[in-house]
């Protein structure tokens, strides 16, 4: 069975709503053969990454950058996972108060260094997530999971 790893930093109600929508999309009943595992960024390890076939990354945009928790995750997994995870698919969702540009640039730069393959454009939300934003998160989760399904 394929495994989709959701690595997230979820310190706010907005990020919680986005995480729930992403996970719901990834776990929807129409997708079979994919085990979806969500792990907070500060707890996720190289073992988690090596055991997964694809990744969903969630972060708030803090001061023009990804969260320190997601950066810590990348610092811990980068070299142990560099060769073994090349070409694996990933998706990204980001929440910011006013801007998400720096956070997206930082995550995409590291994902490029890992040689991960982005499956679709990131879901970017500023302010309170609207229904359309949460639907986009659901679709991101479903797309990532469907890409791993048998």
Residue 129 pLDDT more than 80? yes
pLDDT digits (tens, 9 = 90+) for 4-63: 999 999 999 999 999 999 999 999 999 999 999 999 999 999 999 999 999 999 999 999
Query: What CATH number does the domain containing 59 carry?
Result: 3.40.50.360
CB 54 within 8 A of CB 33: no
Range of the domain at 133: 2-148
Question: 2: pLDDT confidence band, cut at 50, 70 and 90?
Answer: very high
Task: Provide the whole-model pTM.
Answer: 0.97
Other CB atoms within 10 Å distance of the CB of residue 12: 12
Query: What whole-number distance in Å separates Cα of residue 58 and Cα of residue 143?
Result: 15
Burial of 146 (0-12, 13-18, 19+ CB in 10 A): middle
Q: pLDDT value at position 124?
A: 98
- Residue 77 above 80 pLDDT? yes
Number of domains comprising the chain: 1
């Amino acid at each position: 069975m394929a495994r989709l790893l959701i690595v997230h930093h979820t310190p706010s109600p907005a990020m919680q709503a986005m995480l729930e929508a992403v996970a719901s999309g990834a776990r929807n009943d129409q997708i079979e053969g994919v085990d979806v595992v969500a792990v907070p960024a500060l707890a996720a390890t190289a073992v988690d990454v090596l055991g997964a076939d694809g990744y969903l990354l969630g972060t708030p945009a803090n001061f023009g950058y990804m969260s320190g928790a997601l950066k810590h995750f990348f610092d811990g997994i980068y070299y142990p996972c560099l060769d073994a995870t090349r070409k694996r698919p990933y998706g990204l969702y980001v929440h910011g108060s006013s801007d998400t540009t720096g956070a997206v640039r930082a995550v995409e730069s590291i994902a490029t260094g890992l040689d991960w393959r982005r499956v679709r454009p990131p879901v970017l939300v500023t302010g309170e997530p609207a229904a359309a934003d949460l639907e986009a998160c659901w679709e991101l989760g479903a797309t990532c999971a469907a890409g791993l399904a048998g």
